[in-house]
Amino acid sequence: MTSPKQHSQGQHRLVQSKVVPKLKDLQNIFKQYLMHGDSAIATHIVSTKTFANDARLAIYSNAYYARLAESLEKDYTSISVLLGDNAFYQLCERYTDTFPSKNPSLRWFGQHMVDFLSRTSPYNESPYLAELAVLEWAFITAFDAPNAVVATELDAAQIPAGKWPELTIKLHPSIRWFKYQWNILPLWRATNEINHDAAKIAVPKLLDTTEQCVVWRKGLSTQYRTLDQDEAKLLLCIAEGGNFSQMCEALVGLVDDPNQLPMRAASILKSWLSNEMISHLAMTEE
Amino acid sequence: MTDKHAIKNTITTPNVNLSPGEHSTRQFLGYGLGLRTDYYDIILNESPDVDWFEVISENYMVKGGKALYYLDAIRENYPMVMHGVSLSIGGTDVLDIDYLKQLKALVERIEPCWVSDHLCWTGQGGHNLHDLMPLPYNREAISHVAQRVQQVQDFLGRQILLENVSSYISYQHSEMSEWDFYSAVVEEADCLMLLDINNIYVSSKNHHFDALDYLNGVPEQRVCQFHLAGHEDNGGIVVDTHDHPVADPVWRLYESALRRFGPVSTMIERDDRMPPFCELLDELQQARDIGQMVLGTVAKR
Ligand SMILES: [Fe+2]
């Protein structure tokens, strides 16, 4: 990270505040300095011969932006690589000013990035940035999503044929999926290679058709892949509470032979089971 | 550490329950390191010779996944203490009850030997600054912090440790030295102390005081843990960075601290420019060697 936001330095402030501020007011004044560069705090800070109060205070304001930028850089590595250090640092400063942290854990600090990038110029003129942010935030939220048991193909095999139509499916809590129009997957891969070569990073480009990507956690590791159109339909159907026969209906139009609908739905389900994307298969009671 | 397993057996009781003055009951855990993601696998697979680990509480305030998996697995093999960075005990917003609930849940999960945070404020007006902001050293701040520590201790049902932070500024309206302030807070709150030896050194350079006056000025019986860490000396000012090995003057100050306080559980904090794990083990050995030299074989309280 380069060029941290510098507040004015080097001027001794000899005026002391005569009034002792209440702790709450003092903290508010200090915060206003960190967040908005308001220099009122300086009159409450001691200057020494070797180091003036402004320079002392600057350590805190530089650290404020640098620490938050570091957190955003970890969360949004692709975006930081695509923009380069300086432009990304600038983005971080603007983001920090727009969405200052309100959570005790830095884990949540980047949660408004998609919103920020889609609404703020010049970033919203490059829509692939917001799409990449969706992907990168999905990785973060899948990574520490709640643990859950996973259903297996063996569980599916034990379901009597007559129970299948009413079968409901519970997805693993780490699953999230989304649509995108830019080549964000190649972009993400190129920018996340350990020794990525900036010159060789794929150029952002619009896809011929909209794609969908699913992100989830298998064991401890986060996974992602593109979704086929029929898979995407099924995921949506399940998310809306649909049972197996409704899943089959959701595939109408995507499978040529209507008799093949249950087979197709079951085979997709099977691949999800083997990938630990399903946490529960529920039969209705007799 | 001569008998690591004996200590492991004693740590299942989570409460420290220290009465000031009875320092013979204070647990000496030996020499520890911070639990950091870079070293999860090596710690789990190779069971390195580290007596205990300190975990950053906020990193485990999550629902599931890798962090909790390693936390639980490594806890099976090592004593742990919890160290927070966002309690904002010196803050003026009401205590964050949501945060405290998460902290308590984690205490129940980990059963740490103790729980610590910093004597500072970390936010105001609903904003989190994610930095350890210094307090003015005056009466108002002492009663304010002490009263909040008591609330936290009541909520958690145990004493907590407060750590001194590095600072780069001092307030016009401070009325006393940092160590007098720190001592007054822990006495009034009846809590314990985590002395960061590096922070004492850093602040002594930045505010031109004698670090030994600091060591001599705090109540001996309340000191339960030491931190050691690296800093960056920029000439004019010294910054607490945790990205370097422990510096020589800090080792010397550690030696003085051991002479004054006797055996105190010690750990090295490293948070950036992470070296190979074996380098941290070597550094920890340096702490052990100093402990051995100063304390001889009497290494347990
Ligand atoms: Fe520390």
pLDDT in tens, A170-204: 999 999 999 999 999 999 999 988 776 766 667 89
**What is the per-residue pLDDT for B6?**
37
**What is the per-residue pLDDT for A2?**
38
**For residue B99, pLDDT beyond 80:** yes
DSSP three-state, residue B218: coil
| Nearest to A186, CA basis, from A165, A202, A174 | A202
User: Given its phi and psi angles, is residue B190 left (phi above 0), alpha (psi -120 to 50 degrees) or beta?
Assistant: left
Do A121 and A171 fall into the same domain? no
**What is the per-residue pLDDT for A15?**
55
- Structural domain including A121 reads 23-125
Phi, psi of A247 (to 5 degrees): -65, -40
Residue A147 lies in a domain: no
What gap in Å lies between CA B65 and CA A146, rounded to an integer? 7
What gap in Å lies between CA B253 and CA B239, rounded to an integer? 17
Q: How many domains does chain A have?
A: 2
Ligand 1 is an ion; its neighbours by CB within 5 Å are: B 196, 227
Residue A54 lies in a domain: yes
Interface check for A67 against chain B (CB to CB < 8 A): the answer is: yes
Do A109 and A158 fall into the same domain? no
Structure tokens at A266: 């079951």
Do A200 and A247 fall into the same domain? yes
Q: Do B65 and A26 touch (CB under 8 A)?
A: no
Structure tokens at B126: 């609903």
Q: In the predicted model, what is the mean pLDDT of residues B91-115?
A: 98
Residue A131 lies in a domain: no
Considering only CB atoms, A104 lies closest to which of B96, B138, B239, namely B96
Considering only CB atoms, A67 lies closest to which of B92, B126, B131, namely B131
Do A199 and A243 fall into the same domain? yes
**For residue B14, pLDDT beyond 80:** no
Do A40 and A107 fall into the same domain? yes
Measured between CA atoms, how close is A286 to chain B, in angstroms?
34
CATH number assigned to the domain comprising residue A206: 3.90.930
ipTM: 0.89
Q: Do A24 and B92 touch (CB under 8 A)?
A: yes
Residue B47 CB coordination number (10 Å):
11
Residue A98 CB coordination number (10 Å):
12
Considering only CB atoms, A46 lies closest to which of B67, B88, B170, namely B170
Is pTM beyond 0.80? Reply is yes
DSSP-assigned states of every residue in B86-126:
---TT-SSPP-HHHHHHHHHHHHHH--S-EEEESSEEEETT
Confidence of residue B156 (pLDDT cuts 50, 70, 90): very high
What gap in Å lies between CA B66 and CA A142, rounded to an integer? 11
Q: What are the pLDDT digits (tens) for A210-245?
A: 999 999 999 999 999 999 999 999 999 999 999 999
* CA B127 distance to own-chain centroid: 24
Residue among B60, B124, B138 with most chain A CBs within 10 A, to mutate? B124
Domain ranges of chain B: 26-299
What gap in Å lies between CA B168 and CA A240, rounded to an integer? 55
Do A163 and A249 fall into the same domain? yes
Do A63 and A161 fall into the same domain? no
Residue A144 lies in a domain: no
**What is the per-residue pLDDT for B234?**
85
| Weakest mean pLDDT among B181-195, B201-215, B228-242, B280-294 | B228-242
Q: Do A23 and B69 touch (CB under 8 A)?
A: no
Confidence of residue B21 (pLDDT cuts 50, 70, 90): very low
Q: In the predicted model, what is the mean pLDDT of residues B106-117?
A: 98
CATH number of B26-299: 3.20.20.150
Answer whether B228's CB lies under 8 Å from B254's CB.
yes
Residues of chain A with pLDDT under 50: 1-14
